[in-house]
Amino acid sequence: MRGILLAAGAMSVLLGGTAAWADSIDGDWCSVQGKTLAINGPQIDTPGGSRIQGLYDRHGFIYTVPAAEPDEGKQVRMVLVNDNTMQMTVGEGATELQTWRRCRPGIS
């Protein structure tokens, strides 16, 4: 009986860790246009290939597009919608929402 309780406790810790990771904007994201980005805390690998720092929140991220990338100087805002979906706007007062999904394993 004790072994079953220990195993159940270990599983809850493992599953709890997985759920906590999924409930954050961290990770690899893919757009329907084939662009990718990766967020790891305050660090982002932008769709244009730059690695920069931004303003990180567990459910959101903001950065300014670096020089030599499309939309240079514009502010990008991202908000986590659910575990596998994120929405992005590019530019001050932007009304167009881009929907991004978590990349499948092996794509980043």
Q: Number of folded domains in the chain? A: 1
6: left (phi over 0), alpha (psi -120 to 50) or beta: alpha
Q: Tell me which residue range forms the domain holding 67.
A: 24-102
Beta-bridge partners for 53: 43
Whole-model pTM: value is: 0.76
Per the domain annotation, does 89 fall within a domain?
A: yes
DSSP secondary structure, 15-60, as one string: HHHHHHHHTSS-EEEEETTS-EEEEETTEEE-TTS-EEE-EEETTE
Per the domain annotation, does 3 fall within a domain?
A: no
Per the domain annotation, does 2 fall within a domain?
A: no
Span 64-68, average pLDDT? 96
Per the domain annotation, does 108 fall within a domain?
A: no
Q: Residue 107 has what pLDDT?
A: 57
Residues 69-101 have pLDDT tens digits of 999 999 999 999 999 999 999 999 888 999 999
We report the CATH number of the domain holding residue 70 as 2.40.128
Per the domain annotation, does 75 fall within a domain?
A: yes
Q: Residue 4 has what pLDDT?
A: 40
Q: Give 18's pLDDT tier (boundaries 50, 70, 90).
A: very low
Q: Residue 105 has what pLDDT?
A: 82
**H or E stretch at 4:** helix 2-22
Determine the Cα–Cα distance for residues 19 and 13; give it in Å rounded to an integer: 10
Per the domain annotation, does 9 fall within a domain?
A: no
